Amino acid sequence: MPDGDPVPADGSLPDQAYVGMAQRSLSFYLHVPFCATRCGYCDFNTYTAGELGTAASPQSWLDAALTEIDLAAKVLGAAGDQRMASTVFVGGGTPSLVGAGPLSALLDAVRDRFGLAPGAEVTTEANPESTDPELLGQLRAAGYTRLSLGMQSTSRRVLEILDRTHTAGRALDVVGWARSAGFEHVNLDLIYGTPGETDAEFAESLRAAVDSGVDHISAYSLIVEPGTRLARQVRTGLLPMPDDDVLADRYLLADAALTAAEFDWYEVPNWARDESARCRHNLAYWTGGDWWGIGPGAHSHVGGVRWWNVKHPSAYAAALTGQPPMAPAARDHPPADGLRSPGYAREVLDPDARRMEDILLRLRLRDGIEVAGLLPAGREAARAAAADGLLDPDSWTRGRAVLTLRGRLLADGIALQLTD
């Protein structure tokens, strides 16, 4: 994580964040930092009860998160006209573990302080083992419209290697319960490339996901994150490193199976049945929207200003309640109204950094980017990529750089060349 600059104690933003704000969409990400057990591959900012001890609790996290929503209303309200939230996304960690009460309270607070725009997309992530019909009914009644469920695989062996505690059957049951509860959109997350997984096992996971009736599927290649149990297993030779060629083949397999089932890719690892099923929250991340990340370690972005919160739930709760340990700025200059920022550090992106980030994110989208908007060296690189078959010829004739299937396998490298 880059060092960044200090965040002012009152969380106030530099003037540039407010320029053009009324024209940008506003989203909220709400981070739930708890899991029942930690999966060996995962390095997300999440904690088991044993790891937390008495340092923090779901209640202290919820109280602090509600206070941070008040802080967001104050800081963004300084622009004059209050915007409504277009999308809300509760992620983790395991949101389903904390139950409907806290998830409803958080959404109510966003609704109360900001309002939800008509047709707002309200997603929560969930794990199969902690999700049941009652929870889904309560979340739907509270206003959640979309469920994103971590299925990962249908292979019992793969689920075991990933340390998942649910069966594939349970994940598929949850999809049915979500439909019955009236969720408008349901996503299944899959992971491919787990050591020992076969093509046939991944094909079966894709088939089951398609047949479940969901309208969105994300398929991620397994990343061996440094410091995880999986990384140690690979280092000590207990498990082989996922092979790049195998990962590429699995991506091709995913695209073929999902395209045949009438899903369309719209961002490299994301496929949707139609445009209405695309995740609007993630699209806001990728197209320069404003979002405020509530919760420990959550990241925010408003008008080219990015900041990230203190990571540990106890430091997060302490920062918002004025108890030590807290974020450095809140400790040194406490604000008069008592609303302190849990921001750990921030960075203000200059126009060139924003231009480059825009290319890196948008090239991964089906809509691609306008070639005329690139600098001369970037346009030259795009021309070479098009000649190599990495950009779609039809889109190219319309002046847009859109990745071909082969281009998608090399998306980040190509995007980097286009930033020149």
178 forms part of the interface with ligand SAM (CB under 6 A): no
197 forms part of the interface with ligand SAM (CB under 6 A): no
Smallest distance from ligand SAM to CB 190, Å: 7
- What does 191 interact with, of ligand SF4, ligand SAM, none (CB < 5 to 8 A by kind)? ligand SAM
46 forms part of the interface with ligand SF4 (CB under 6 A): yes
286, 361 contact by CB (below 8 A): yes
CA-based max dimension of the chain: 61
Q: What sign does the CA torsion over 150, 154, 160, 161 have?
A: negative
- Distance, CA of 295 to CA of 167 (rounded, Å): 30
- Distance, CA of 246 to CA of 130 (rounded, Å): 32
Per-residue mark of binding to ligand SAM, 104-123 (x: CB under 6 A): --------------------
First to last CA, the chain: 24
- What does 173 interact with, of ligand SF4, ligand SAM, none (CB < 5 to 8 A by kind)? none
Smallest distance from ligand SF4 to CB 387, Å: 41
38 forms part of the interface with ligand SF4 (CB under 6 A): yes
- Distance, CA of 296 to CA of 315 (rounded, Å): 8
Cα–Cα distance list, 362 to 170, 288, 376, 406 (Å): 35, 9, 18, 17
314 forms part of the interface with ligand SAM (CB under 6 A): no
Query: Binders of ligand SF4: how many residues, by CB under 6 A?
Result: 11
- What does 38 interact with, of ligand SF4, ligand SAM, none (CB < 5 to 8 A by kind)? ligand SF4
379 forms part of the interface with ligand SF4 (CB under 6 A): no
Smallest distance from ligand SF4 to CB 47, Å: 9
In sequence order, the β-bridge partners of residue 121 are 87
- Distance, CA of 396 to CA of 399 (rounded, Å): 5
- What does 189 interact with, of ligand SF4, ligand SAM, none (CB < 5 to 8 A by kind)? ligand SAM
Per-residue mark of binding to ligand SF4, 127-146 (x: CB under 6 A): x-------------------
Among 33-41, 55-63, 343-351, 382-390, the segment contacting ligand SF4 (CB under 6 A) = 33-41
Burial class (CB in 10 A: 0-12, 13-18, 19+), 412: exposed
Residue of 11, 58, 92, 368 that binds ligand SF4 (CB under 6 A) = 92
Among 65-73, 221-229, 326-334, 384-392, the segment contacting ligand SAM (CB under 6 A) = 221-229
Residue of 11, 150, 296, 342 that binds ligand SAM (CB under 6 A) = 150
154, 208 contact by CB (below 8 A): yes
- What does 304 interact with, of ligand SAM, ligand SF4, none (CB < 5 to 8 A by kind)? none
Burial class (CB in 10 A: 0-12, 13-18, 19+), 79: middle
375 forms part of the interface with ligand SAM (CB under 6 A): no
Among 40-48, 57-65, 251-259, 301-309, the segment contacting ligand SAM (CB under 6 A) = 40-48
Per-residue mark of binding to ligand SAM, 68-107 (x: CB under 6 A): -----------------------xx-x-------------
45 forms part of the interface with ligand SAM (CB under 6 A): no
Smallest distance from ligand SAM to CB 305, Å: 25
Cα–Cα distance list, 374 to 274, 364, 404, 405 (Å): 29, 15, 19, 22
303, 347 contact by CB (below 8 A): no
DSSP 7: P
Going by C-beta distance under 8 Å and a sequence separation of 6 or more, which residues neighbour residue 60? 313, 314, 317
Q: Extract the tokens encoding 222.
A: 């397994």
Going by C-beta distance under 8 Å and a sequence separation of 6 or more, which residues neighbour residue 348? 5, 14, 16, 304, 305, 306
Going by C-beta distance under 8 Å and a sequence separation of 6 or more, which residues neighbour residue 378? 359, 417, 418, 419, 420
- What does 67 interact with, of ligand SF4, ligand SAM, none (CB < 5 to 8 A by kind)? none
Which residues contribute to the site for ligand SF4 (CB under 6 A)? 35, 38-39, 42, 44, 46, 92-94, 127, 150
Q: Which residues of the chain form contacts with ligand SAM (CB under 6 A)?
A: 41-42, 44, 91-92, 94, 125, 127, 150, 152, 189, 191, 220, 222-223, 225
